[in-house]
Amino acid sequence: MERRTIGAAALGVGAIGLGCMPMSWAYSASEQSGEESLRTVHAALDRGMTLLDTADMYGPFTNELLIGRVLKERREDAFVSTKCGLLVGEQHIVANGRPGYVKRACDASLRRLQTDFIDLYQLHRADPEVPVEETWGAMAELVSEGKVRALGFSAVGARADHRNRPVTTGSGIHAATIRQLERVQGVFPVSGVQAELAVWSREALDSLLPWCVSHGVGFMAAMPLGNGYLTGTLTPGGGFETDDVRARHPRFTAEMMAANQPVVAGLRRVAERHGEVTPAQVALAWLLAQGREVVPLPGTKKERRVAENAAAADLALTPADMAELDALPAAQGSWE
């Protein structure tokens, strides 16, 4: 697979990564299988999808434990990105950016991941009670100690205290994120930024991605397949299990899923022009075409989806394809 570079640290990764969260967090628990997830991670590494994106809060903790089982065997094949800064309670997720906590969280992640170092350590969410420079300074010390190779900043979501669900990253959130990035950049270089970017959610193209390009920072596209919607495999009104985050998601009501069908239809039209290509592959290829700084992170727990996603790296969209995709409507229905 084509290789791309994660920002200031100039770390090479496969052009498409693997979002590991669905293996143990936020989606239907009945469809989660530890053994299948392990096969999925191995399959991703076999195809050059070297960036494995996880976080201590996924599970919590179980996602890192799962990835650790793979790293114990294949550490040299993988680029490990994990996150700190969020604590999971019974009903809320709360930010914690205190320097002492950050360092303890890193040590705990290293143990769960069964590795001596983390390639990219991301701040999952800035703590409104702690100056972001203090949190970032503690993370920078982890680099000097050899526990972390590079630092990243996650801009997925707006609130530090929310109810177990993602929040969209609109232009206002991106402006606030850029202000934070400017502050921490003076403490230690930012190598990667992770934020939502997809064909139906293009706000990051206005300011956040340009900021990354101008500062030599890698951009990891979260939710590149719209939490499964852009694959074209979800049926409006089909429903979700109660433990699936989409079951209480305004964008995934039957009405909103039906309203967003023109986006899927557009992806299908482009896919049909390329033969045996899926809407998901078109959506990922569109992201890759946004610039070499972009590394999509499609999340999956299924081995067959890894093969499909990896093949998107070889799909070359035409200027006409790109124009048609750029003209697709934005998603209806908020994350709120």
Which is the catalytic residue, given 27, 58, 121, 229? 58
The dihedrals phi and psi of 83, each to the nearest 5 degrees, come to: -135, 155
Catalytic-residue membership of 229: no
**Cβ proximity of 84 and 99 under 8 Å:** no
Cβ-based neighbours of 209, under 8 Å, separated by 6 or more? 197, 219, 290, 291, 293, 294
Identify the CA nearest to 247 among candidates 329, 164, 125: 164
Q: Which residues are catalytic?
A: 58
